Chains A and B, each alone.
Chain A
Amino acid sequence: MKTESEEFIPAVSNDPKARLSLGSLVPYAIVGMFFGIVFVKAEIVSWFRIQEMFRLESFHMYGVIGSAVLTGMGSVFLLKRLKVKALTGEPIRISDKVFQPGQIYGGLLFGFGWALTGACPGPLFAQIGAGYSVVLITLVAALAGTWTYGALRRYLP
């Protein structure tokens, strides 16, 4: 039996209205757009690239993920070290991940799905944008999977 305690802990905000104005949300769409362009241009959304990765026949995806993680690590280290504040004025805070058995079971299941579809959730959106309309079905199936998890959650370890 799980509690619902690990619901979203919304970032501390002085003014909830300010955080939900269109103007404050558009920058996220712009960052997402650049992200989607990189996804397609570096062929990370390609089923073939994911096959190469899992067949250990190309370095490309390992290079992408590895250099992304190193870049992220370096930036998080600097942000914490220099005690940088977000543009909203709040101190930057990253909540710690708590270990749960689901990270193993769910992780394996997602790995199966990743190899089948050649996509994680992000690439699904980019693939649809890039004109592969049938991926809409994959996205709906992913939504169904998410919803089913929500419904079965209390019976799962």
Chain B
Amino acid sequence: MKLSFQIKTSVFFRLLMEWLTQPWPWYVAGPLIGLTVPILLLLGNKTFGISSSLRHICAACLPAGIPFFQYDWKKESWNLFFVGGVFVGGLVAGTFLSNPEFIQIAPATKQALAAQHVTDFRGLIPEDLFSWSSLTTLRGFILMVVGGFLVGFGTRWAGGCTSGHAIMGLSNLQWPSLVATVCFMIGGFLMTWLGLPWILSL
């Protein structure tokens, strides 16, 4: 009796882990991300947004007398705790729930990237392009440093990122957020189709 119970729980646990380590489909992930919006509102009237955390870090570490960084960032600590949590979540998922298989990429994308000399299709990010050793190459510098700079500068100038505008803003039917989201996409299409082929060939 006891033994069969043990077998049942171990089978259940194995199936659970199997399901957890598989990549999750969009219809599971999307609604879970969308639920962040009401959860943060319910927790403490907080509007979902991630790029603000970068501003708070600047205000906390290097305000340098710039008016834009002169505010009580401690009042916005929740946002820093939230991104700290995102980091821990990445750690948990990457350590305990990581997918043993290679990532499944759309065949057309894979072909196009392989033609651009991307060879590493194992993980979430191709090591050919993103690694400490490629940081000193022009290609790696543009992808990581210039790209990162544009993410920080662009989101702040736009007043939000994919979370603040695309998810929170659209959820609240804000047309300025729709403008921002459309521009995010246009920028991405332009870079992917016109910029990246040249950058990847460097």
Is A112 a contact partner of B190 (Cβ separation < 8 A)? Answer: yes
Given A106-B157, A111-B183; A67-B105 close (CB under 8 Å): no
CB-based nearest B residue for A32: B85
Cα-based distance from A111 to B53 in the complex (angstroms):
19
Is A139 a contact partner of B183 (Cβ separation < 8 A)? Answer: no
Q: How far is the CB of A117 from chain B (nearest CB, A)?
A: 4
Cα-based distance from A35 to B180 in the complex (angstroms):
23
Is B144 a contact partner of A141 (Cβ separation < 8 A)? Answer: yes
Is A75 a contact partner of B97 (Cβ separation < 8 A)? Answer: no
Q: How far is the CB of A127 from chain B (nearest CB, A)?
A: 6
Interface of B is mostly: helix
Cα-based distance from A143 to B54 in the complex (angstroms):
6
Q: Is B17 an interface residue (CB 8 A)?
A: no
Interface size on A, residues (CB 8 A): 125
Is B157 a contact partner of A149 (Cβ separation < 8 A)? Answer: yes
Over the window 38-69 of chain A, the binary record of Cβ atoms lying under 8 Å from chain B Cβ atoms (1 yes, 0 no) is: 11111111111011111101111111111111
Is B184 a contact partner of A111 (Cβ separation < 8 A)? Answer: yes
Q: Is B11 an interface residue (CB 8 A)?
A: no
CB-based nearest A residue for B192: A54
Given A122-B163, A150-B156; A138-B145 close (CB under 8 Å): yes
Cα-based distance from A6 to B152 in the complex (angstroms):
19
Over the window 28-52 of chain B, the binary record of Cβ atoms lying under 8 Å from chain A Cβ atoms (1 yes, 0 no) is: 1111111111111111111110110
Cα-based distance from A35 to B86 in the complex (angstroms):
6
Is B41 a contact partner of A36 (Cβ separation < 8 A)? Answer: no
Over the window 114-157 of chain A, the binary record of Cβ atoms lying under 8 Å from chain B Cβ atoms (1 yes, 0 no) is: 11111111101111111111110111111111111111010010
Is A114 a contact partner of B38 (Cβ separation < 8 A)? Answer: no
Given A113-B150, A140-B148, A143-B58; A44-B156 close (CB under 8 Å): no
Question: What are 22 of the A-B contact pairs (CB < 8 Å)?
Answer: A28-B43, A29-B88, A35-B36, A55-B106, A63-B26, A70-B30, A71-B35, A75-B171, A78-B38, A87-B42, A103-B179, A106-B155, A115-B189, A118-B125, A121-B155, A126-B90, A127-B90, A127-B125, A141-B152, A142-B149, A143-B152, A153-B68
